[in-house]
Amino acid sequence: MQIFVGLGNPGAKYANNRHNIGFMALDRIAEDHGFAPWRSKFQGKVSEGRLGSEKVILIKPETFMNLSGQSVGEAMRFYKATPDDITVFHDELDLAPGKCRVKQGGGHAGHNGLRSIHQHIGETYARVRIGIGHPGRKEAVAGYVLHDFSKADEVWIDDLLRGISDGAKDLASGDSGRFMNAVALRVVPPRPSKPAPKAAKPAEPATPEPDTRSPMQRLMDKFS
C-alpha cells in the first residue's frame, strides 16, 4: 500500500494558489483513476483507490501547511505504514514552472509543509517536486506562493497535472523513471516525424539545337 500526500492550504481562498499545486495533483489523480469520494479523516481529506496493482491512499491535510505533518503522521500510524510508503507532492521554488522531479529523502529546503512532516515522520519519504519558479527575491517568496497562478500558467499546469496522473501507476509501483517519462510526454510532446523528401525528377535530356547548315556545308564539314 502507498500513501500519496498532497500539500496545500484548505478553503476556497487558497484553492488556486501556487502553494496548493500538491492538492491539485491529487485531485487530478483521484478524478482520472476513479478513486472514492473524498471524506474527512486524519485531520484532512482522504480518498482510496488503486493504481495498477497497488492500493493507494490519497491525503490532503487540512491543518494548514505549517502543520501538515500532524495529518501525515496520524495516517501513517493508522495504516501501520513506514516513511518508505509515503510520497509527498509539493510546490518547488527551485524548479522552473512546469518542471517536475522525484526525490527520495533529503532536507526540507525551508518548505514549511515538508519541515512539519520531517518533525513527525523523519526525512526518508519520497517527494514529487513540482516546479513553480522563484520570484527572484527571498522577501517576496511568501506573497508569491500564496498568490494564484496567472491565466498564462493554465496551459502548462494542465499539461503537467495530466502527465503526473498518467504516470501515477508507475510511481505507485516504484518506477520513478517511467513516471518521469509520462510527465515528459505531456509537457514536451514528441515532434511529429517529417515526411521523407520527394525524390527529384530525373532531368529531361536536352533538346539538340537545329542544324542550320546547308547540305554542301555539312558535306564539307564531314571531310574537313
Provide φ and ψ at 40, rounded to 5°. -80, 125
Grid cell in block for residue 199 = 525524390
| DSSP category for residue 67 | G
**Of residues 19, 33, 90, 111, which has the active-site annotation?**
19
134 in active site? no
SS3 110: coil
DSSP code per residue over 150-187: PGGGHHHHHHHHHHHHHTHHHHHTT-HHHHHHHHHHHH
**Helix (H) / strand (E) containing 144:** helix 141-145
Quick one: angle between helices 176-187 and 154-166, nearest 10? 150
- Residue holding cell 518506477? 175
In one letter, which amino acid is 111?
Answer: H
Q: Which amino acid is at 11?
A: G
Q: Any idea which residues carry the catalytic annotation?
A: 19
